[in-house]
Amino acid sequence: MNNDQADPADLALLREAFGAGDECTPALGWEAVRAFEAEHGIVLPEPYRTCVAEITDGSRQGPPAYGLVGLAELPADWGGERKARVLAEPFPLTELWLWEEDDGGHEDPEAVLDRVHDHGTIVLGTDGCAMNWHLVVTGPHRGHIWQITDMGALPFGAEFGHTTAEPGFAGWVRHWAAGEEWFDAA
């Protein structure tokens, strides 16, 4: 997974997966992507960066179940009472965390929970019922996809278990395009 340079094979996959149909929102263009990055003090990981600049800024067909939201958007079920998102602050996790089962391993679970939801990620969309998919843009897991729900946070990719998929945005889209279940590992 190379977060700094888009692999041509990954871009071809993204172009095929999102197609040119009316299900997709037009790409933003490089000027708009760079302006978003400057406004938030980040550089988006590849190949997502090139995807929103050149291919699409969202798709009603998914992934995830309710579609890929645009770069500056949030899913409809996000909730209006959340704090402001701070993309330049690092995403705080590097491994699965089920806060319902937390044994006190985090000094201040509520503070960490706020950062999990609102720091260092772009929200890609939802599978409904507050099961949101995030792309980490800042921190040690930059470029990885996480599913964050009301019960916990789980990294996506074969190296973390639960799935046979490759990590990162292209691996996540490839897994969806192949019609695989998100969590297909035994």
Tens of pLDDT along 106-118? 566 777 888 888 8
Specify the pTM. 0.93
Confidence of residue 125 (pLDDT cuts 50, 70, 90): very high
pLDDT of residue 107: 64
Nearest to 172 by CA among 145, 151, 148: 145
Confidence of residue 165 (pLDDT cuts 50, 70, 90): very high
Look up residue 118 and give its amino acid.
D
pLDDT of residue 97: 85
Q: What is the DSSP letter of 39?
A: H
First to last CA, the chain: 24
pLDDT of residue 106: 56
Report the C-alpha gap between 116 and 107 in whole angstroms.
Answer: 14
Structure token pair of residue 147? 């599913």
Report the C-alpha gap between 134 and 154 in whole angstroms.
Answer: 10
**HSE-up of residue 163 (Cα within 13 Å, Cβ side):** 22
Q: Are 6 and 143 in contact (CB under 8 A)?
A: no
Dihedral through CA 126, CA 88, CA 80, CA 68, nearest 10?
Answer: -20
Chain mean pLDDT for the chain: 90
Between 40 and 100, where is the model more confident?
40
Radius of gyration of the chain (CA): 16
CATH 3.40.50 fits 8-72+86-177, yes or no: no
> What is the H or E stretch that residue 115 is in?
helix 109-118
Q: What is the pLDDT of residues 68-101, one digit of tens each?
A: 999 999 888 777 666 778 999 999 999 998 877 7
pLDDT of residue 56: 95
Report the C-alpha gap between 53 and 83 in whole angstroms.
Answer: 27
Q: What is the DSSP letter of 29?
A: -
